[in-house]
A and B are shown apart, each in its own frame.
With several copies, the nearest count.
Chain A
Amino acid sequence: MALIENLTLFVLAAFLGYSIITKIPTNLHTPLMSGANAISGITLIGSVVVAGSGATTLATVLGFVAVVMATVNVVGGYLVSHMMLDQFGRQDGGDR
């Protein structure tokens, strides 16, 4: 029953996400948003499979576009998040 197993993962991940995210303080919410955003680019691995399989031309074209878009999301998201957090981190070093 792949469907129910997947559903089980979904439910557990939802509870876990709720538990973790509610512990994150407000001042980190903007970097959290872009970091979470980057994680949603995980759809990239789906795009890779589809783009690389080359089964049909249509799938390849769709896959190509999907890979570009998902990669922008992943790379951009993590970078932006890193740049923001660096500013928090930098001063922490200074404090000590």
Chain B
Amino acid sequence: MAEGVLAGAPDWLLPLAYLVASVLFIQGLRDMTHPRTATRGNATSAAGMFLAVAVTVLWFEILSPVVLAAALLLGAAIGTWLAVTVETTEMPQLVGLFNGFGGGASALVAGAELTEIFDRDAAATPDVAVAAAIAGIIGSVTFWGSLVAAGKLHGVFRRTIRYRGEHLVKVVLLAVALTAGAFLVLQPGVFGETPLAAWAPSYWVLVAAASVLGVALVVPIGGADMPVVIALLNSYSGLAAATTGFVLDNTVLIIAGTLVGAAGMILTVIMCESMNRSLPNVLFGGWGEEATDDEMDDIYEGEIQSTSPEEVEMLLDTAQRVVIVPGYGMAVAQAQHAVAELAELLEENGVDVEFGIHPVAGRMPGHMNVLLAEADVPYDKMRELEEVNPTFSETDVVIVTGANDVVNPKAKEAEGTPISGMPILNVDEARTVIVNKRSLSPGFSGIPNPLFTLDKTSMLFGDAKQSMQDLVNEYKENH
């Protein structure tokens, strides 16, 4: 029975509202299958959330409405502030951070529900206790894991901490959490009639162990693997919400949480597959350290030709078809607007320009598409790997800007490199290749790139934004 503002409303109203909210979430995700409907889909999903929250607030007796309103306003303010101040390059870490908050909230809700049950001197039924234990573990791991991941991506701390016996530490922490969970479920009453018992102490032991576990799991993973970790934790936060739904016997939590769990899992798998690595390898392999030093310089010694914006401009002058291949560096440099302007200028002068987008260019799936869309590059100019690869042989100039691994021919030849087997953009089939990056240092995978040493390749050293802007200016002067 409704107790709050809606007191007197029929019993079925709340679950019906939750059903409608679930349908809105589902429809919202379905609309995400096309860019044309995706904005509407996001709004549909948000409407579902609004409905679910509003009905909940009105339905239950809120003994402390001021506290609740304050919490909602505070959260909304923080969320809005973070969202509007974020740079597009900082998206990955922000998504990670939000995600952690969702997981943390699930863990706290399960704990609060337990304390309420115990406070009523009732015992939690086994299924509720099991669900609460799962929500507590997943939620805590998600919270702390996400914080560490977001911190690494943001450069708050970059070091990858590895130590002997690190796997043992993780196993012990998990064992502690599981033991605490078993206590919670079996409730052997070791804490007796003490006032402490009402606080569900075994749950908080579980949360503490899982929290440390969350940190321990993510700390040894290389910064560059963080996007995979964040997608996985996204899945976890959904699962945490779903298990909370089991604790509270709430359908919309289960449905919505599970949808998110599936989404995160699929994104994780897609990322691993397109990097040609397995998930356990990402999580426990410990590979993926970004090589920051420029030891590679010797390797390239004497085989590198470098070029200048002026020379590139001359090349472009006679080109019929140009393909631009952006990568992570474009995101770092925020060079998308300059790149888009260059493309537009070339088009205006009758050059056929397309963008070649590798599925894992950047650090998130679809990263380049988001950036280029921000800079108003039309979709039909953004070509996927399968579409653009056959056209390189008829391309006069390829401009690679801030990309490295996605154009590394080593992926084709050698066995045993981290990118072996990954399909790449075959830019070496074009007449001329211009590679724009700041140095000869490697990309995400940490291996040298033989593309740079080809006769047809010239390096345009410099920050992507600066270099592209220089090119634009040069081109404008001459046309």
Contact = CB atoms under 8 A, between A and B. Distances in A.
B105 A66 contact: yes
Given A39-B256, A87-B373, A87-B374, A92 B42 contact: no
Contacts of A85: 35, 38-39, 42
B33 A36 contact: no
A82 B39 contact: yes
Contacts, number: 412
B379 interface: yes
Tier of interface size on chain A: 35 or more
Interface in A28-73: 28-56, 58-60, 62-73
A38 to B, nearest CB: 7
> DSSP class of A's interface residues: helix, strand, loop or mixed?
helix
B33 A20 contact: yes
Given A9-B255, A41-B105, A91 B370 contact: no
Contact of A65 (B79, B108, B246): B108
Contacts of B23: 11
B399 to A, nearest CB: 20
Interface stretch (B70-78, B430-438, B458-466): B70-78
**Best-buried of B94, B262, B384 by chain A (most CB within 10 Å):** B262
Interface in B1-27: 11-12, 15-16, 19, 22-23, 25-26
B453 to A, nearest CB: 31
Contact of B109 (A23, A40, A66, A78): A66
A45 B250 contact: yes
B11 A1 contact: yes
**Best-buried of A16, A77, A95 by chain B (most CB within 10 Å):** A77
A48 B68 contact: yes
B346 interface: no
> DSSP class of B's interface residues: helix, strand, loop or mixed?
helix
A18 B32 CA distance: 13
Nearest to A90: B376
B105 A32 contact: no
B257 A40 contact: yes
A43 B116 contact: no
Contacts of B105: 41, 43-44, 46-47, 66-67, 69-70, 73
Contacts of A12: 22, 255
Contacts of A52: 57, 60-65, 67-68
A72 to B, nearest CB: 4
B252 interface: yes
B253 A42 contact: yes
B145 interface: no
A73 to B, nearest CB: 4
B259 interface: yes
Contacts of B75: 67-72, 74-75
Contact of A67 (B68, B86, B366): B68
A76 to B, nearest CB: 3
B178 interface: no
Nearest to A75: B79
A1 B12 contact: yes
A91 B242 CA distance: 36
A46 B260 CA distance: 17
Given A11-B19, A40-B99, A70-B75, A48 B60 contact: yes
Contacts of B259: 13, 16-17, 20, 36, 39
Contacts of B230: 33
A22 B71 contact: no
A15 B250 contact: no
Contacts of A90: 373, 376
Contact of A88 (B38, B56, B266): B38
7 contacts: A11-B22, A31-B42, A39-B259, A48-B57, A52-B57, A55-B119, A60-B67
Interface of B: 11-12, 15-16, 19, 22-23, 25-26, 28-30, 32-36, 38-39, 41-43, 45-46, 49, 52-53, 56-57, 60-65, 67-68, 70-72, 74-76, 78-80, 82-84, 86, 91, 94-95, 98-99, 101-106, 108-109, 111-113, 115-116, 119-120, 127, 198-199, 230-231, 234, 237-238, 240-242, 244-264, 266-267, 270, 357, 359, 364-367, 369-370, 373-374, 376-379, 382, 384
